[in-house]
Structure 1
Amino acid sequence: MHATAFWRSPLLRSPRQLHAWLSERGSLTRRLMTHFPDFSVQVLHEGFCRAHLDERTILQIGSEHVATREVLLCAKGKPLVFAHSITARASLKRGFHLLGRIGSRPLGAVLFADPKIRRSHLAFCKIDRRHPLWQKAVAVSGIQPPTLWARRSVFYAGQNQLLITEVFLSPPF
């Protein structure tokens, strides 16, 4: 993954109770379902948008529109994580063709079920109101702290790439 310096915040700077969640290499969705039995996925947006500047750097794309999926991962209706996924339009016809058809099913369930899909290392960042994903997370989840921890990684299906960013919202973590 071509991570920018912006996404190299040391994990040790995050709150201790978040360490295990941020560093989870398996399915975050599966882990959330284990800890929060009333887990649900709320689809907020599926469509095409321009990638954010730091996302363009990672996926090495221009300012063209990319396939975008945004969801809230919730427990008892309370938002826990804001997830933002993007991929090039061409990848919807190839490696990530299921992306546009999963509805409210967790994306992680699809990705981790396919042994051909591999994942990059995780990158971490403490984001604030200047970052568009902090702004989106707050807009859909309500009042949040002035900074939130996020992680991102790239999933690969052959040459196709899918960037997933997960923003961890205020406690219960």
Structure 2
Amino acid sequence: MITYPLSISANWQSTSYISDLSPLEQEWLFEQNSLTAKLKSNSKTFNVKVLSEQLFTLSPEQNLLLNSTAKTAINREVLLLCDNKPVVYAQSWLPKNDFINPLHNMGERPLGDVIFQDPALKRTDIEIAYFDDTHPIQQLVTKLNLPEKNLLGRRSVFSLKEYKFLVCEVFLPGAYLYS
């Protein structure tokens, strides 16, 4: 049984410190534009499957990343499916504020379809992490009947005006960057 949110604790590193990635891995991991749009352009069908959407207390690390005083955030965990195959596990942390936020009720709409439409969107530098076959994320890989594999992930903080949120994406076995 999987407990959400899945741990994505890892040794996150700036892209400038990563030197052993293939050109294809770099193309996908360093993508500054919408990952959703890139996935859609490489597949016939694209879907989002919500795994969990719950209110959680932010960790000290998350508060530091977000430079936030918020105590809680909505944690949304989804699978991004291309041609009905899960290729990305994505986790977003959306701090809960006093105002109504349309990002808090996304359902099965891709977050990327919404945020990249806003010209005010800003993104911090992307950080990269490796997830070996002992990492808790492998529980999801097993549940999805995917082959065990060392995985790559990325994360960054986005901001829309003063609102900041954290997005982490882990590329599952079979994702395009492993081709």
Report if the CA contact (8 A) 1:86-1:162 is conserved. yes
Taking only the aligned residue pairs, the percentage that are identical comes to: 32
| Residue 110 (structure 2) pairs with residue 106 (structure 1) | yes
| Residue 90 (structure 2) pairs with residue 86 (structure 1) | no
Aligned position for 1:158 = 161
Report if the CA contact (8 A) 2:70-2:95 is conserved. no
Report if the CA contact (8 A) 2:70-2:96 is conserved. no
Measure the CA separation in 2 of the matches of 1:56 and 1:37: 38
Aligned position for 1:30 = 37
Compared CA separation, residues 51 and 78, structure 1 to 2 (3 A): farther
Q: How many residues align?
A: 166
Compared CA separation, residues 41 and 49, structure 1 to 2 (3 A): same
Report if the CA contact (8 A) 1:137-1:167 is conserved. no
Measure the CA separation in 2 of the matches of 1:38 and 1:158: 32
Structure 2 counterpart SS, 1:121: coil
Aligned position for 2:170 = 167
Report if the CA contact (8 A) 1:42-1:71 is conserved. yes
TM-score (norm 2): 0.78
1:2-41 alignment runs, 5 A limit: 6-8=11-13, 10-41=17-48
Which structure 1 residue ranges, 4+ long, deviate > 6 Å from structure 2?
none
Aligned position for 2:123 = 119
Compared CA separation, residues 52 and 21, structure 1 to 2 (3 A): farther
Compared CA separation, residues 21 and 137, structure 1 to 2 (3 A): farther
TM-score (norm 1): 0.80
CA RMSD, 1 decimal = 2.9
- Unaligned runs of 5+ residues in structure 1 are none
Compared CA separation, residues 62 and 6, structure 1 to 2 (3 A): farther
By how many angstroms is 1:63 displaced?
Answer: 9.8
